[in-house]
Amino acid sequence: MQGIAEFEAVVAAANLPGAVALITDSKEKRYAKAFGMADAVNGVPMREDTLFQIASMTKALTSVAVLQLVERGKLDLDAPVGTILPELAEPQVLEGFDEAGAAILRPARTDVTLRHLLLHTSGCAYTFMNADLLRHAMAAGKMAGGKRASLDLPLMFDPGTGWQYGTGIDWAGLAVEAVTGMTLGEWFEREITGPLGMTRTGFRATWDPGEAQVHVREADFGFKTQGMVLGGGEYHNGGGGLSSTAGDYARFLRMILRGGELDGVRVLSPEMARLAREDALPPHLSAGEMTTAMPSLATAFDPLPGQRGGWTLGGFLVNTETGPAGRAPGSLHWAGIFNCYYWIDTDRDLAGVILAQIAPFADAAVLDTFAALERMACANA
């Protein structure tokens, strides 16, 4: 593969604790390599099969689970989701705060649907990205991570009227559990990760010290680690609770490239695979740009500067023009909060993933490395 030396020079200059990079097409891996340390403090080397907390890369699997159940008639994209999730039956919208600092709430004008949840048009938001919601959640005592009650927050706008990245796919995962009688992890194992041979992918409440640790940069260009585990808690977090490896996630990406099938096993019908890949966001809305209310956790980030971003029912951001590093219009991509990133370029039959574990999100060095990986892949298409 051309450009390997140039790509690996970018990695060397990035001062990352460690990372795993992988490029695949619809048939096989084209490139895979581990760099640096899984734990830079204790000197644990990175391996190609090191486990990472992939966080919001979970959203695509949860969205696929929903589409499977839509096809089987167990879920309806456009019915009020409050019939199966009572917490969303009578949602409130946060309009601001009065002079005493109390939240001003009003009933939402429309019902929340699964389509809204999957497309991030429900009004559900993340506290770490929205200062008003953070203020309300802190006042209401709903900041406990991993608790289902922490999701029970007001909407930031009426369903269908805006786009804001948030907890919608957490709720969609709970809808999967409600209609199947299974945990989300059990459904994944039976219908997605098991059939696809993703043997290392799952929800983990504890974290092995030999796997990738979450790092924070220090002023002397060194690192410290911090214990953060997203996979535990009261429920399986369909918005961000999975851990996985680069090789495992590449099997999921390959399935998407192949239209819902891998190695003779079909997890999505051709029609549902099309829905998973097709921009379903109303054209007057744009997806992708993210703000921050907790800069230590996530930096403000616009993955598609200067262009409209679409969003699919499969949990993917869509670039509507050529991407910043060369991906074709209609390509799919997203990320995880500890600086894990992937893209799927169906026109070129290419996908790539880079996994790191460093906070805050949108680390400039990891983004540079991700862009370099994509450029290398495109040059060899």
Show the domain range for 262. 4-73+183-379
pLDDT band with cut points at 50, 70 and 90 for residue 147: confident
> Which amino acid is located at 4 in the chain?
I
CATH of the domain at 251: 3.40.710.10
Domain-embedded: residue 170: no
- What percentage of the chain carries pLDDT values higher than 70? 100
DSSP 321: S
Quick check: helix, strand or coil at residue 65?
helix
Q: Report if residue 267 sits inside a domain.
A: yes
pTM across the whole model: 0.97
Question: Does the structure show a pLDDT above 80 at 145?
Answer: no
Mean pLDDT of the chain: 96
Active-site residue flag, 165: yes
Q: Which of 146-155, 181-190, 326-335 has the lowest mean pLDDT?
A: 146-155
Phi, psi of 379, rounded to the nearest 5 degrees: -70, -20
pLDDT at 4 over 80: yes
The answer as to whether 356 is a domain residue is yes
User: Which of 134-148, 185-199, 242-256 is predicted with the least confidence, judged by mean pLDDT?
Assistant: 134-148
Q: Which of 122, 126, 150, 165 is catalytic?
A: 165
Number of structural domains (the chain) is 1
Reduced to 3 states (helix: H, G, I; strand: E, B; else coil), residue 288 is coil
Kindly state whether residue 154 falls inside one of the protein's structural domains: no
Q: Which of 56, 63, 244, 331 is catalytic?
A: 56
Q: Which residues of 100-138 are buried (b: 16+ CB within 10 A; e: fewer)?
A: eeebeeeebeebbbbbbbbbbbbbbbbbbbbebbbbbbe
Active-site residue 31, yes or no? no
Angle formed by the axes of helices 58-71 and 184-191, nearest 10°: 70
Q: Is 257 part of a structural domain of the chain? A: yes
Of the pLDDT bands very low, low, confident and very high (cuts 50, 70, 90), residue 302 is very high
Q: Is the model more confident about 324 or about 349?
A: 349
**Catalytic annotation on 342?**
no
Share of the chain above pLDDT 90, in %: 92
Task: Give domain status of residue 8, yes or no.
Answer: yes
- Asked whether residue 175 is domain-assigned, the answer is no
Q: Decide if 240 contacts 145 (C-beta within 8 A).
A: no
Residues 53-85 pLDDT 10s: 999 999 999 999 999 999 999 999 999 999 999
Give a yes or no: residue 119 inside a domain: no
Q: Which of 59, 150, 243, 331 is labelled catalytic?
A: 59
Mean pLDDT value across residues 13-21: 97
Which phi-psi region, left, alpha or beta, contains residue 59 (left: φ > 0; alpha: ψ -120 to 50)? alpha
